[in-house]
Structure 1
């Protein structure tokens, strides 16, 4: 299996792991839901987890990969405000936690680019 064949499956695995975490440890995600969103933070935690699991399945399937990878890129952009909120909220936590929270912010760009690359690869494979 070539590197380009593994990339979509690795992205799907990342999404599946993150989506599963939203259901197995939702309290970790509830506190980073922006307060401006309507409804309960737990509902948003579960909704984003379900979205990640759905995207994981769709990215894993060649027939839906291109559209799902583009949707994944949009999803990564959409959750950026939650990562910003986490970094701001954690500014009084111990330094390693602050570093992890702030470190997540620049990681969003490679995730978006990775998802776009998977979409482009799916396009050329069809």
Structure 2
């Protein structure tokens, strides 16, 4: 008897694969947070008072760029790692898969801002050739990720 793939089997395998990718990325957020530093836009990051003034015991945050600068770069990286881990778990559970896929689609779409900002900085006078190569490759990878998550959410074109 020949084996045939059902749509449900294909979706389950696809969800498991995206989940594995998200788990790996979440793990990397905590093991190598510096990898993600360039894709956190400066306008989202506050600086710690201590870092600005050389006072290691001070915990008082100081907004750098206004209302959006609510967390430090390290906190944004940790939160995004936690969101990726939560999305990975949600994709593995059939009852939460559609909601997790929609959330993952939104998350990947929101990450575009960071990738565009990193690319802008890479091509600024302070950017290096290595940064230009890395971010020129990294930005377009977001589109297939967005489309992959969107396909798991069951979103059809024009709907």
Q: TM-score range by the shorter chain?
A: 0.7 to 0.9
Structure 1 runs of 4+ aligned residues shifted over 4 Å read none
What TM-score comes out, normalization by structure 1 length? 0.85
Structure 2 gaps of 5+ residues are: 45-68
Distance 1:40 1:5 in 2: 36
Query: Higher relative CO (CA 8 A, sep ≥ 6), structure 1 or 2?
Result: 1
Q: 2:118 aligned with 1:118, yes or no?
A: no
Distance 1:32 1:73 in 2: 18
Tell me if the contact between 1:8 and 1:60 (Cα under 8 Å) persists in the aligned partners. yes
Q: 2:90 aligned with 1:90, yes or no?
A: no
Greater CA radius of gyration, 1 or 2? 2
Q: 2:93 aligned with 1:58, yes or no?
A: no
Give the Å deviation of 1:99: 2.6
Structure 1 gaps of 5+ residues are: 122-126
Tell me if the contact between 1:19 and 1:52 (Cα under 8 Å) persists in the aligned partners. yes
The one of 112, 121, 135 aligned to 1:80: 112
Q: Match for residue 29 of structure 1? A: 36
What TM-score comes out, normalization by structure 2 length? 0.69
Count of paired positions? 120
Tell me if the contact between 1:31 and 1:41 (Cα under 8 Å) persists in the aligned partners. no
Hey, which of these two has a bigger chunk of helix by percent?
A: 1
> What is the RMSD of the two structures over their aligned residues, measured on CA atoms?
1.8
